[in-house]
Structure 1
Amino acid sequence: MKSLVEKWRREWEIIVFLHIVLEKQQELVENMWYLIVALYFSLSRNITNFLTMKSELKIHYKHSSSSTQLLLNN
């Protein structure tokens, strides 16, 4: 009888341990998703800012080129 109780106690400890491990794993997965979403928005914002800056520089370059051409023509 005592060995049966010990066996059940040991199995219960294993079940509790696995439950705790699974909870921690779920927390890690949730945190990873938050990190992935944060990285995505950060990268998309940086790419958008880069493309906007690139197009603004292109427009500025076109204006400065036409200004230079006007100065050279005069």
Structure 2
Amino acid sequence: MLSLDVFKKILMIFCAIAVPSSLLAIWFGAEATFKEKIILSFVFGVVMPLFTFIFYKIVSFFLKKSHSSKRY
């Protein structure tokens, strides 16, 4: 089973790769207006890491709950 530390490290690596690469793709590859680029930068720079953090907290809550309910 995947431990919480490994899961957290996987999510951190994902954010460390996905956020900068998506921002680079927006600013250097997207055919969009400046306003659209600002909005997309906000989404990928703030909202995506925030939802990743919320996802981690939800998953860690359920993993801790399921792990504590097991009897050894």
The structure that has the greater radius of gyration is 1
TM-score, normalized by length of structure 1? 0.46
TM-score, normalized by length of structure 2? 0.47
Larger RCO (CA under 8 A, 6+ residues apart): 2
